[in-house]
Each structure stands twice: as structure tokens, then as C-alpha cells.
Chain A
Amino acid sequence: MNFKSFLKNNIVLLDGAMGTELQNAGLPLGELPEEWNVTHAEVVTGIHAAYFEAGADMVCANTFGANSLKFGERTEEIISAAIACARRARGNRRDKFISLDVGPTGKLLRPLGDLDFEEAVKIFGRTIAAGAEAGADLIQIETMNDLYELKAAVLAAKEYGRGLPVVATCVFGADCKMMTGASPEAAVATLEGLGVDALGLNCSLGPADMLPVVRRMLACASVPVVVKPNAGLPEEREGRTVYNVGAEQFAREMGEILALGARAIGGCCGTTPAYIAELFKLKSAATPQKIQKKSLTAISSYTHAVYFGGAPVLIGERINPTGKKRLKAALKEGDMGYILGEAVSQAEKGAHVLDVNVGLPEIDEPAVLERAVCEIQTVTDLPLQIDTSDPAAMERAMRRYNGKPLVNSVSGKQEVMDAVFPLVKKYGGAVIALTLDDDGIPQTAEGRIAIAKKILKEAHKYGIGKEDIIFDTLAMAVSADGGAAQAAIGALRYIKHTMGVNTSLGVSNISFGLPNRDFINSTFFAMALASGLSAAIINPNSAEMIKTYKSFCALSGFDKGCLSYIEFAQSVQSSIFAAQSQNKAAEGGEKTLKYCVIKGLKTEAEAAAKGLLKTLPPLDVINGEIIPALDEVGQGFEKKTLFLPQLLMSAEAASAAFEVIKSAFAGGGNSKKIKVVIATVKGDIHDIGKNIVRTLLENYGFKVYDLGRDVPARAIVDKAKEVGAEVVGLSALMTTTVASMRDTIALLKEEYPSARTLVGGAVLNAEYARMIGADKYAKDAMESVRYCEQLEREIYGE
């Protein structure tokens, strides 16, 4: 019998702890437990045998830490020895299973840590390939603290696991979150999207403390749920540390978990064969509950899930270059700052999901989309909608996305379905399906419904259920076709209410070609919501749209006690008074731009810059107001009358004013000629200091290319050559990474000697800087600015 069919019809009894058992058997401190697969095979085999004897249906081979980071070239040897131990313990029994045990790498993935996602996939892949080769029946990935690392492991299991079943369990704290923030619902959505055969939680807590997370997982999971608690918490008794839940109490508490519907139970740290023997009694008396398919349409970020079909979901449309000059320019320059600003402001305005589209003919879309998705995920925890017509870009973004994405879009075109559905199947995702096909967009609701049915049928072939499809019935310009609104709404009503599938609309298209588009958009939005719209792609900055949304939710019972409506309504002015108060605001804005920058007043600085631009050319605003203000603050910092956060508040106010100037006049940003490449060197992941230097240099009008942190010498030198940088700024905070700084400078001197090197960071001083060959040591950000100003004069004159 294979594991999958056993799981389908039985409660699976897993084993208990291996690590604590090995310690009891004499594993010395400091020795890796997996070594014993080779050196003490009989002990490892004995532990497995004891678990089988106690009634376990499955044991985990002793491979928790068996990865190439720890064992290098011996990885395969250790794993094959581990599986051999488990097989010896199993003997000829055919209904007992052996799992490859896959624990975390021990490293945190970027952006929080320094391990690259693909590197993690490779590390897991090597372990998994070895386990499959050695004859494991399934792959159990466990004790995962980070959803992103878990995703890397599951992908590796799919790519290297020869089709073996995959079970994945996470660690949750008492706060019902994984260490890097994921909720149980986010973990379930992501793991089910990736196609695991069972999922659940292990370690960290005892059975009673796991109940809240178990309940939440069972409520949303459509695959069997696995629960492996610790034997309670470690406690000191008579000078010894012991786990505080005994075998009988453990089984009693697990009884409740089983009754809730868990399908595989076992133990983690501190449990022994005696615990498993108690669970065996429990299991023998219970009958397996049927696994209910929940049919939820869910997507997730790395923290939380968003469901479709309840309160309508708002998808922010602002990160899309169509018709947006400023965004196009930002994308071409590789300037992510603008995009990140849009992401955060839409989140603040109430969007639930953000659309990300970077499609421009002149850029490398797969690379830029992947980067945009990763960067946006560092500033917002909203789930993203990956919006592209390029399957290569879609795949790269879906692969790197942390969570289960929404994908925009598939359609009834065969070629598109052939490209998109395999990606949705592999990486997990809900997908927006446009009701159009090779013959174009049907004029009528009926035509669109027919295409929707065709799309569902095709998705079914891939094993993608209707819960992962959201139909967009296409809002077309009502100015061109008077029946446009009716066709879209007629189709969506049928799809939602008769076919039982969720719907979405790009609402603003409806008003194309008309003046005051918000009026039409918000009324159409209300009509669509009332007809059963599940999600809408809108501009969250539009007060009209948010007004309609909040009112609709209050009127249709999605907003209990109208609390959200009341909060919203009290925060905005009724349109009748809006005109009056606008005048007032203008009167209040008498503070000069210079004053606003000095005081670090960001919003006021923006307003003041807008005001000045009406009468002054941009360069006068920069040189007459912003730079003098920055100088004053900079001198204050140098003389210690002000301290760092104040300097930075001013820098931010200045940046905000610059942004106003930039969007008013394309290319008005850089008043200096010097170009600076800046990076934190290889091995070092501190970047706040470097970011401060970047911000101030940009404030002063220098063009800065920021390569980030942990950057190899080669990448720094190549970039400097590529852009013709006059200055290369390097930061290091640790004595250990000053060596990479020295290497970077050496490589620069060899290949690009004209660049001046500017170095800084906590461990450096002027003397040390000279020793490693740097041209200049700057003790803080202001000194970096002064140095670049001096060079500007030397190289380009005043």
C-alpha cells in the first residue's frame, strides 16, 4: 500500500522524538545526531523499532539536519544510512512507512537573512533527491519557522522528490503565528496551493496549547491535518529539566485534537515510545473523519490570507505603468522607491490586495517583475496580484512570491491556458480569468458565460478547481457601447449565482473616454457589487470608489454595526463642505519650504514645493530653499545641536519636495554631475548607515546607484564601470567584513582605477581606511556629502 491511500482511509500514527532519545542514549553535546546513522546505526535502528513496536505507522528517518550546509559531500552517505536504519527497523511489514525528515536549513532567507531562495531550493533538493534515491516512502518537512523557507522546501520536494507524497508542518507560537509572521490560514493557503498531501504543525507547544491553531487549520484545510506537539514545556524538577506533560496526559489532550478532525498524530521534542503507545490506544478506539473539501477561494501573503466570496475584495490598481508617466520613468531607471511608495499608500487607503504590473516594451519584464514583487513584499504584508501577459515573467514572480498569489490573468485563448494553468498548478495561486478568447470579447453576457464554462473545463484537466478561478467579465467603455455595463454585469451575475464562481472587474475601464470618470466608475461599481461582484480592481485613492465600497459593505451586512463605515465617514468631509475647507488649507500653508525642510515636516514641504513651482523654476526651488535648509540642518548635526533622527526627518522632507519637483518636471532631480555607486560589502548585512548616506547624497542632487547589502566585489566594480561612477561608497560594520572591503577596493584599483573610494562604518577609522587603500574615510553621512561636493568642484568645477 502506498502512503497516500493509507492516509486517505486511516488515522496515521506518527513517531515521537528522535533527538532527545539519542541524547538519552549517550549522544554527546556538540556531535551532530545524524552522525549516528553511520557510527551508531544500531542505536538509531533501535529507536525506530521501539516506535514501530509502540504502534507507529510511520517513522521519520534521522535526517532532520542532514543537509549539504552541515554535511557537504557526505550528505548522501548520511541520508542513505539513515533510511537504511529505518528500513531495518521496519523489516518486511508492508503497512509501515518511512519518511525522509527535512528540517530547516538553519539560515534565514533573504530579505530577512542572507540565504537566497534558489540556494535554499538547491540545498533542500539535494537532501530530498538523496532520500528518494535511498527509498523513503514520503517526504516530511517539519519544524519550519518561516513560510518562505517552507515554500522553498516544498518546491524542492516537487522538483527533486520523484513524486513522493509531501507532508509539511510548521512551528506556531502561543500567539498563533509562525516566527516570521504567518497565520495558520496563510500557511494553509500557501501549502495547499503548492499541492502538499497533508499539512499541520509541530514542536514548540504542548497539545493543549496547540488547540487554537489546530482549530483554525482544520477550519480552512482541505487536506489532512497533522499534529505533533512537544511533551509540554521544559520545566526544572529536582535540578533536572524535564518536559511537563506525561504520556497519559499527552494522550488525553491529543484525544481532543483527534476529535476535532486531525488525521495524523505523533509527538515532537520530549516524547518517547511510551507516548506513542498511549496514542496507539487512542487511535485504535477512534474512526477516521472524512476530510471535507472547504472550497475556499484564498490567496495569501507571508502573514495573512484573503478570502473571496465574503466582503468584496479591493485590489489596488496603481502599480501599472499604463498611462502613468512617472511610473514609466521609475521603471526604466530601475527606481523602486516610487513603486514602494505607491504600494504603501494604497495599503493605507484600504486596498486588500495590490496589483503589480511592470509591463513596458523596453524593459526586461521577467527580471523587473520578480524584483518588484520581492521588494514590494518588504514594505507591505498585503497579498499581491501578479499581473503580466508574459508567462516567463509570471513564473519567476510566482516562484519568488512569499505566499499564495493572485495571478492576472488567464483567458479562454487556448495558448494562454496552456501557458498559465501549469504555473498555477505548480506554484499555487488563484487566477483571474478573462471571459474572452481567440475570437475576441463577446458582446453579450451569454457569450462571456460560454467562455467561462470552457475555461473551467480546461482548468479541471490540470486539477485546478473552480475555487481557484475568479472570472473577470470585462468592463468595456460604455461611451463606445451603450450595452457594455449590462453585458459585464449580466455575465457576472450568472457566473456568481448560478455557476457559483467568484468574479472580479477592472472597474475603471467602463468610463474610458468620459469626463469626471469617478462618477461613472462609482455608480457602475455599486451596480456590480449589488450583482455579486467578489473583487474589484480600483484606484484606492479615489474617494468616490471608497465611499461606494464602505457604504455597500454597511448596507449589505458585511460591516457589523457599520463600524468601518462610521470610522471612514468621520474621517472624510462631506462633499458639500469640501470646497470651502480647501481654501482654508491653502491659507494655512504659509510656512516656507526652507522652514518645512529644517523642521522635517514632510507633507507641508510637499505643499510648499508645489506652491513655489507655480512661480519659480525647479532649480531655483532646489538651490534657493532645499539645499540651504539641508545645509543648515547638516551644520547643526556636525555641531551636535541636532541629532541623527532630526537630520533624517529633514532629509525625508527634502526628498518629498524633490519628488514633487521630479513629477512636475521630468529629469529635474539631479543637479550634480557626480555619480556614486554605493553598497554594503560582501558578508555584511547592515545597511541602515549606507541608506542614510544614500538619502543625503540624493538630497544634495547626486545620482546614487544603491546595490544593497552583502554585495560581492565583482558586482560593485561592474556597476561602477557600467555607469561611469566617479565615487564608489562602501560600508562595513564588522571587523570580519573589512576584508571584503579591502578586496573590493583592490579589484577597483585594478580594473577601474579612476573611481575614488569612500568608506565608512562602525569598525573603520581614517587610519584603517588608509591601510585598506581607500581614498577617503567619512565618519558620518554629512562628511560623505561634503567629500562628494568637493570632488564635484575638483572634477566639474563650480
Chain B
Amino acid sequence: MPTVLTGKIEKLDIKETMRYLGFAGVKSAEGMEELLSECENLILPVLAPKAVYEVYPLTRCGGEALDLGFARVNSHSLYINLRASVKVTLFAATVGAGVDRLILKYNKLSPARAVVLQAMGAAAVEQWCDEVNGIIKAKYIHTRPRFSCGYGDLPLALQREIFPALSVTKNIGVTLTEGDLMMPSKSVTAIIGIEEGNIQ
């Protein structure tokens, strides 16, 4: 049975936000402080981090085919990532629909705020994923970097098997669109390989 987590984000990673905004290599961020702090005040109260995860056995099925316990995949890049793993943790995490509402609103009113909120939402869900990742790592010690659908050749369509496996919609409210995108959009699913060693 999957485990459900809820969390809280008190402070946003502004450096990460700036990175998403494409700040690298730009000379000046003059006049940005006010915009950033305004957007931070808008976004912090609406963040509602939730996650769900479960551990599955990993079976190699010949060639690069893997049985992940909840689905079978044939992906070169995942195969490489999980080369030394014996189990996988599958998780789905979201910071909720509030960010999407804000982005929707400012998309119509203020593109500058919309792009900043978009970047902050992305930074927030990454921050939350790091926390979830930390919880998983604390338990299983020898873990691989997380790997999501769309990385390398791991198909987006795998989402259709991830969602029922973790009852993602029921547990944390995230849904899939026709094109296998997650809604609320500030959501992530990922596989974390667990390697031999200190498995509890």
C-alpha cells in the first residue's frame, strides 16, 4: 500500500527560481527584488505539498527490458540508471492546484508575474521532490538519482501505468491529460533505484 506524505514549504529557493527564469549570463536583475518578493508572497500561501510513494521489486527480463513491479518497460536510459539497483521506489509529488490558479490568473493580467510564478512553482515542486527524495534516501540509503518519464528514452506514456499503481489521483489529487501531462502542472513522478546494501 502506498504511503502518503504532506509537507510545508516555508521559504522558496530564489536562486533556483532565477535559474528557471534564465538569469544565467544576464548582466543585471535591476528592479527584480520587488517583483520576486510580491510573487513569493502570492505563492507561499497556496503551496500544498503532497506526495505518495511505494517500493517495488525490480526484475531484469533480458536485454534492456525491466519489470518495475508496476509496469514493464524497455528503456535504454532507465536501464543504465538502474544498472546496479535491486528495487525501485516510485513516487508522485505535487505542490497542488493553487499555483496553477495563480499562473492562470496572471497569465491574463501580467505576463511578468506569470513567468515568475511559473518559475517559482517549478522551483517549489523541485524543492518538495528533494525533501521526498531525502525521506526515501534516509530509509534506503543507497539510492540512485531520481528518474522521470521523458528523461532520455523513458516514454511519457509510462505515466498511464504509474497513476493507477500509486492511485495518484485518489491519494494526492493529480490527474493526467490526454497527452499524459500532469495536472496540477507543478507535479512530478519519478523512479528512484535502490541498490544492494542497507535495505531495511
Closest residue of chain A to B25, judged by CB?
A640
Interface hits, A97-120 → B, CB 8 Å = 103-104, 106-108, 111-114
Judge whether A236 is part of the interface by a CB distance below 8 angstroms: yes
Contact with B along A730-751 (1 / 0, CB 8 A): 0000101100000000000000
Distance (whole angstroms) from the CB of B3 to the closest CB of chain A: 5
Q: What is the count of residue pairs linking A and B with beta-carbon distances less than 8 angstroms?
A: 166
8 Å CB contact of B27 from A181, A233, A640: A640
A-B contact pairs, 19 of them (CB 8 A): A29-B165, A30-B71, A108-B97, A108-B183, A114-B183, A143-B170, A175-B48, A179-B97, A241-B1, A241-B3, A379-B105, A600-B31, A645-B115, A649-B31, A652-B110, A685-B177, A691-B107, A691-B114, A736-B179
Closest residue of chain A to B177, judged by CB?
A114
| Chain B interface (Cβ < 8 Å from any Cβ of A) | 1-4, 6, 21-23, 25-32, 35, 48, 50, 69-71, 96-98, 100-101, 103-105, 107-112, 114-116, 118, 156, 161, 163-165, 167, 169-170, 173, 175-181, 183-185, 200
**Set of chain A residues within 8 Å of B96, measured between Cβ atoms:** 179
Distance (whole angstroms) from the CB of B149 to the closest CB of chain A: 11
Cα distance A378–B103 in the bound complex, in angstroms: 10
8 Å CB contact of A683 from B27, B28, B98, B179: B179
New A-B pairs, 10, CB < 8 Å, besides A648-B110, A651-B111 = A107-B175, A108-B177, A108-B184, A114-B178, A177-B48, A179-B97, A181-B101, A379-B104, A644-B115, A691-B114
Beta-carbon contact of A112 and B101 below 8 Å: yes
Distance (whole angstroms) from the CB of B74 to the closest CB of chain A: 17
| Chain A interface (Cβ < 8 Å from any Cβ of B) | 19-20, 23, 29-30, 32, 103-104, 106-108, 111-114, 143, 145-146, 171, 173-175, 177, 179-181, 203, 233-236, 239, 241-242, 269, 336-337, 340-341, 344, 375, 378-380, 599-600, 640-646, 648-649, 651-652, 683-685, 687-688, 691-692, 695, 734, 736-737
Beta-carbon contact of B101 and A643 below 8 Å: no
Beta-carbon contact of A341 and B177 below 8 Å: no
Distance (whole angstroms) from the CB of A337 to the closest CB of chain B: 7
**Set of chain A residues within 8 Å of B98, measured between Cβ atoms:** 181
**Set of chain B residues within 8 Å of A173, measured between Cβ atoms:** 6, 48, 50
Beta-carbon contact of A643 and B21 below 8 Å: yes
Per CB-CB distance, the 6 closest pairs between chain A and chain B, nearest first, are A648-B112, A179-B173, A113-B183, A643-B26, A108-B183, A145-B173
Beta-carbon contact of A599 and B70 below 8 Å: no
Listed residue (B97, B103, B170, B178) with the most chain A CB atoms within 10 angstroms of its CB: B170
**Set of chain B residues within 8 Å of A112, measured between Cβ atoms:** 97, 100-101, 104, 183-184
Beta-carbon contact of B69 and A29 below 8 Å: yes
Beta-carbon contact of A640 and B70 below 8 Å: no
Beta-carbon contact of B175 and A106 below 8 Å: yes
Distance (whole angstroms) from the CB of B99 to the closest CB of chain A: 10
Distance (whole angstroms) from the CB of A66 to the closest CB of chain B: 14
Distance (whole angstroms) from the CB of A363 to the closest CB of chain B: 20
Closest residue of chain B to A20, judged by CB?
B1
Beta-carbon contact of A379 and B109 below 8 Å: yes
Cα distance A688–B185 in the bound complex, in angstroms: 13
